Amino acid sequence: MARIAIEMPKLGYDMESGRIGSWVKQVGDRVARGDVLAEIETEKSTVDMESTAAGTLVEIVAQAGAELPVGEVIGYLDDEA
């Protein structure tokens, strides 16, 4: 299995950081590509963050309420390979 980093997405041209509103998936949940992992809050809106890979959510690094810069790791998936 390979560990896949989940990073804070860049949701707008001028977005520098985002806040995790809530995690939709929990550690141990299987995730398909396109499943909503978390809700990300920006200055302007709240956006569903979709998974770009399939696997199992194995670690949440940043809890709900945490504000992190774009590109910062917020969790990890293990792929099914």
CATH architecture label of 3-78: Beta Barrel (2.40)
Domain ranges of the chain: 3-78
- pLDDT of amino acid 81: 52
Burial 20-36 (b: 16+ CB within 10 A, else e): bbebebeeeeebeeebe
Q: Kindly report, residue by residue over 29-66, the tens digit of the pLDDT.
A: 999 999 999 999 998 899 999 999 999 999 999 999 99
Question: Is the pTM above the cut of 0.85?
Answer: yes
- pLDDT of amino acid 40: 97
Contact 49, 34 (CB under 8 A): no
- pLDDT of amino acid 59: 97
